[in-house]
Amino acid sequence: MMADARGDSQALFAAGIRAALETWPALQIAVENSFGGVHSKEKAVWLEHAIEEYFFRNADLELDEVEDFIEELMTNEFDTIVEDGSLPQVSQQLQTMFHYFQKGDSASLEDMVSHIIQRKCRVRAATLKTAKDTNEEEEDSVEEMEVTATSNGVTTSEMCSQPESSRPEFQTIKEEDIVEDGWTIVRRKK
């Protein structure tokens, strides 16, 4: 019985990693624009498993260690340096979820995963509203981003209930094609 609870909790932690990465604009932009080459989508899936294994092999990680690991993966696998301030946030989410997993606090872990998925729905709703307010050329690029955001092959719109009104804290992230020494920089829209 105890092994089943641990397995369910581990599956929930894996789902939390997937949700955190699917809501991380820097990674999604890198995947959508094939910064990791023709296998960018496969690399994103691999990234989920690599992060999960990293946590299991290193039980007492500090936040800066998690950030450094993910930053290295983004650099090596997607040729991307994340400068929008989102790396510490994603790292903190992952570390908190792992802490809940270690404590066996499935309820808190499930709540956190649910919250991340709900936020993903709100961000998508804000992106849709932004797309309607911009010209057609920009609308096409925003629509491409939202269509590719999937979870287990199900589009986000099928997972989300009624879109909530957009809130100012959920800004649309926009890619700027700035190339410095062969690096593409992704920044938060101001």
What was the pLDDT predicted at 183?
A: 59
SS (H, E, C) 2-18: HHHHHHHHHHHHHHHHH
The residue among 19, 72, 75 whose CA lies nearest residue 48 is 19
Q: What are the two backbone dihedrals, phi and then psi, of residue 89, each rounded to the nearest 5 degrees?
A: -65, -45
Q: Provide the residue range defining the domain that includes 46.
A: 2-187
Alpha carbons 20 and 87: distance in angstroms, whole number: 11
Q: What's the total number of domains in the chain?
A: 1
pLDDT (tens digit per residue) in 48-100: 999 999 999 997 899 999 999 999 999 999 999 999 999 999 999 999 999 99
Its pTM stands at 0.63
